[in-house]
Structure 1
Amino acid sequence: MDNGGALHVVMFPWLAMGHLIPFLELSKRLAQKGHRVSFVSTPRNIKRLPQIPPHLSPLINFVSLPLPHVDTLPENAEATIDISTQKLESLKEAFDGLEAPLTAFLQNSNPNWIIYDYAAYWLPVVADKLGVPCVFFGVFNAAVLAFMGPPSVLLGEEKAWSTLEDLTVAPKWIPFPSSVVMRLHELLKIVKGIGEKKSNMPETHRFGLSIRGSDFVALRSCVEFEPEWINLLHDLYKKTVIPIGLLPPLVQDVEEEGDSKWVLIKEWLDKQGRESIVYVALGSEATLSREELNELALGLEKSKLPFFWVLRKPAGSIEVESEMLPKGFEDRTSGRGIVYTGWAPQVRTLAHSSVGGFLTHCGWNSVIEGLGFGRALVLLPVMNDQGLNARFLEEKKVGLEIPRNERDGSFTSDSVAESVRVVMVEKEGEPFRTKAKEMKEVFGDRNRDDRYIDGFLRYLEEHRCPDGSSS
């Protein structure tokens, strides 16, 4: 082998930034240890990724595979950020069309391992034919994956749920008390958002086949945060589950393109009191309705606390961000709060000493970034697994979920204001602030994370495929 026995690992993430970024972080960690990575995705997604540090770039090869054409997919759409939820099945159909070109690449590149995402349910069969071992990399925490159940449940071989209401209570295979459940309004939203195109492969089947077909499962988590859930996954999957750490981004490794923007943001943050600001960001894909946006804005106003709000408009929207806000809102909160439109350097903002709390959509990437700096969380889940994350984080006492109507998911400005004030300043929120600061020692510890990567690599090296032949 090249590089004195170094591994060659192929990465194949799903076409969503919340998946591409952790796969890239893992790639960087492997490259730091001297291993060679082929990161496979589509041309536009590869261009979107943050720059690789120069000392790692020789070891990370970006492999660009054009996304196959699907009539119902908008032109130039290559990721979930480019489409509405109604077009998700079309994107998955195009993604499945990558099987042939990816197989050809694998045949010619002789990797020792393939690390893949849940959507590529067909990849374990390809890997088996080529005699290359493969790892399912779950970019979710163990609690979320455990709630979803074992492959037999995911594939419908074992009946677990009959109605939507069944998903609003802890499933039978969770042996300890748990509040990690779905809310009815979240389930109704998922059902409504399935879209006009019937699925050729249900989401649950993609998970089930991807997990079952893997040689083992790697997990973006750590034993210090959720030991009971990681142990449960071992039992549910009946195979090795290896936590590989939280892969927190380094401030100096990211957001170089935002330097000019950061100067202006930092100037404002520097003028604020220590831990006085609530940072508000709902990610790149989670979008609120006009009514929800209105209540969030008025809630921030009523909280009377300083805020820095990163406001993104939905994909394809031609609306001006400032027109999405209640009339006169920016004037009334001028000097106390900033509404920042477009991309903002989240990691640098969270790292700033003036930020005390983080109102988040509960995406696992953002949660890791927030807790990595000890920021207490105000939880406003919007889509996908975010509701499960919110209940999990509240159970762990690092955040407080904004109360919502169980049926329609609506929330009020008063509930926003009260939740923000509790987490940021009220006496009853002290346990959240204390616990979040404690979590900084877990989520922000790069040395601990490094040890997890070393353990993961030991396993890869011990079970490696020698030069692309069967292991």
Structure 2
Amino acid sequence: MALQYPKQLHFLVIPLGSPGHFIPTIDIAKLLAQHGVQVTIISTPVNTIRFGSILDQAIQSGLAITFLDFPIRYTEFGLPEGCECVDDLPNLSYAKALMEGYASIQILVEQHIEKLERKPDCIVSDSFMLWAGETAKKFKIPRVIFDGMNCFTQMCNHMLYVSKVYESVGDSDTFVVPGLPDCIELKKSQLPFMFNPGARHRGDFHEKLRVSEAEAYGVVVNSFQELEQEYANEYKKIKGDKVWCIGPLSLCYKDASEKVQRGNKSSIKENECLEWLESQETGSVIYACLGSISRIEPDQLVELALALEACKKPFIWVVRAGHKSEKIEKWIDENGFEERTKDRGLLIRGWAPQLLVLSHPAIGGFLTHCGWNSILEGICAGVSMVTWPQFQEQFYNEKFVVQVLKIGVSVGAQNVVHLGEEEKFGVVVKSEEFKKAIEILMEEGEEREDRQKRAIELGILARKSIEDGGSSHENMRRLIEDIRNQTSIREV
């Protein structure tokens, strides 16, 4: 009697057009394919060209990954030609139009599914793509969501939503988030805009998002259990055990060429960057990068620049100010900043090869905006951090890095600066505060050694988690088996 082998599963993967979401979502696609799953990534033409090249080697090696592109009708939604990703927009007033453009492809995706001889076994979608939930319900396909946050953040949001503790305090009052394994104190002014009444972008979107997430079959998390075991356990209880920590996703790229091109074409040549790093002493360089959609005011960036100069440490600064980049570039030029610091400073404009930089032995500290992708990449590299949270869940992430993991030093930011409202807030952190935090992080001594030791240990655990038999590797296997079981039940 012939052996019956299980048929290949087919997953539909639907990313959101923002680098911090799109990049890890296609990392998930690569991991699924490595586990024998056929993957179709729903994308748009510009995003496939920009982000898809990182999967070329994987596809050429025989992994079953396909991009299925659906064009966005720019004129219909008032979008500039070629703008299919948040960081390509002239300013964030176009963000709503971009989301409407993405929603318009729902009907095209459903027409594609209807033509398939066999429907996809699972949809993995960014949580912000609400229409994917509607499509999953229509075709009775299990939907697993990805929102780019860790279990710690998910638990903070859940406990705040359930307890409403933030409603009874003033904006500058400190309160303890109830029900967490650690004593986490926050201010209302530091909360993401779903809880923060100062946010401009309120409305019913977040309630729709909450409902959509509750209807999903499960959640994949870009984290690993050893990093936040207690929080992962609690989050699983809330989600009926349908939570799979499958990260760190960035570790699915091994060689330097992949690390350089992940996310976008780097604005600096690999050799130039590596040669500069090679010229620095081990653990001496501070790397300052503030996220892919940074819109920080030029006056605020000047404060950071002055601190980097005053610290007398070698540094790499990724200069990014969105549509106001000309203003900061004018200051750099007119004040001779780049010339004055050329012997110990490297300025990168545009996209930086962050994985390559962080993994270099010369890096001694990472000044970050506390986006989860960046923090996890720092953890993988075994690097301690200076934390400067900006918006959304980034103040949660700061608490996790500084207080729970004890591998960071805060610059002391007190308030969320909501995306699109940077001009209203102006300068919120002075150069003296940056300088103090950098010096504490980089100062030789027992405290730095302890931070570095913890960071290095976490990096080792991160790499082990994705190896055969590691926690994340096993979680990916369990997810696939779970979906296989659901497919079998549906077919019966």
The match for 1:297 is: 305
Q: CA deviation at 1:168?
A: 5.8
Equivalence map 1:230-379=2 (5 Å): 230-249=232-251, 250-252=253-255, 253-256=258-261, 258=266, 261-314=269-322, 316-317=323-324, 319=326, 322-325=329-332, 327-379=335-387
Equivalence map 1:176-195=2 (5 Å): 176-179=181-184, 181=186, 184=189, 194=200
What is the SS of the residue equivalent to 1:38?
strand
Aligned with residue 140 of structure 2, among 131, 140, 143 = 131
Amino acid in the other structure paired with 2:8: A
Gaps of 5+ in 2: 417-424
Amino acid in the other structure paired with 1:9: F
The match for 2:230 is: 228
The match for 2:475 is: 455
The match for 1:437 is: 456
Contact persistence 2:128–2:147 (CA under 8 A): no
Give TM-score, length-normalised by structure 2: 0.84
Contact persistence 1:143–1:180 (CA under 8 A): no
What is the SS of the residue equivalent to 1:51?
helix
Amino acid in the other structure paired with 1:460: I
Distance 1:260 1:467, change over 3 A: farther
Contact persistence 1:248–1:444 (CA under 8 A): no
Distance 1:205 1:98, change over 3 A: farther
Contact persistence 1:131–1:470 (CA under 8 A): no
RMSD: 3.1
The match for 2:72 is: 67
Q: Provide the rounded CA distance (Å) in 2 between the counterparts of 1:121 and 1:97.
A: 12
The match for 1:147 is: 156
Deviations 1:384-428 (A, max 9, x none): 222221121111101111113559571111111111111122434
Amino acid in the other structure paired with 2:431: S
The match for 2:95 is: 88
What is the SS of the residue equivalent to 1:169?
strand
Higher relative contact order, chain-length normalized (CA < 8 Å, sep 6+): 1
The match for 2:23 is: 21
Q: Provide the rounded CA distance (Å) in 1 between the counterparts of 2:406 and 2:35.
A: 35
Q: Provide the rounded CA distance (Å) in 2 between the counterparts of 1:364 and 1:228.
A: 18
Q: Provide the rounded CA distance (Å) in 2 between the counterparts of 1:98 and 1:403.
A: 43
Contact persistence 1:274–1:355 (CA under 8 A): yes
Distance 1:168 1:230, change over 3 A: farther
Q: CA deviation at 1:449?
A: 8.3
The match for 1:412 is: 430
The match for 2:422 is: none
The match for 2:113 is: 106
Q: CA deviation at 1:112?
A: 1.0
What is the SS of the residue equivalent to 2:55?
coil
Q: CA deviation at 1:375?
A: 0.7
Q: Provide the rounded CA distance (Å) in 1 between the counterparts of 2:478 and 2:414.
A: 48
Deviations 1:322-373 (A, max 9, x none): 3243823223322011212222211111111111111111111111211111
Q: Provide the rounded CA distance (Å) in 2 between the counterparts of 1:272 and 1:247.
A: 29
Equivalence map 1:211-222=2 (5 Å): 211-222=213-224
Contact persistence 2:411–2:434 (CA under 8 A): yes
Amino acid in the other structure paired with 2:40: S
What is the SS of the residue equivalent to 1:370?
helix
Q: Provide the rounded CA distance (Å) in 1 between the counterparts of 2:434 and 2:270.
A: 28
Q: Percent identity?
A: 26
- Of the structure 1 ranges 17-26 and 97-106, higher mean CA displacement relative to structure 2 is found in 97-106
Q: Provide the rounded CA distance (Å) in 1 between the counterparts of 2:299 and 2:344.
A: 23
Contact persistence 2:225–2:245 (CA under 8 A): yes
The match for 1:398 is: 407
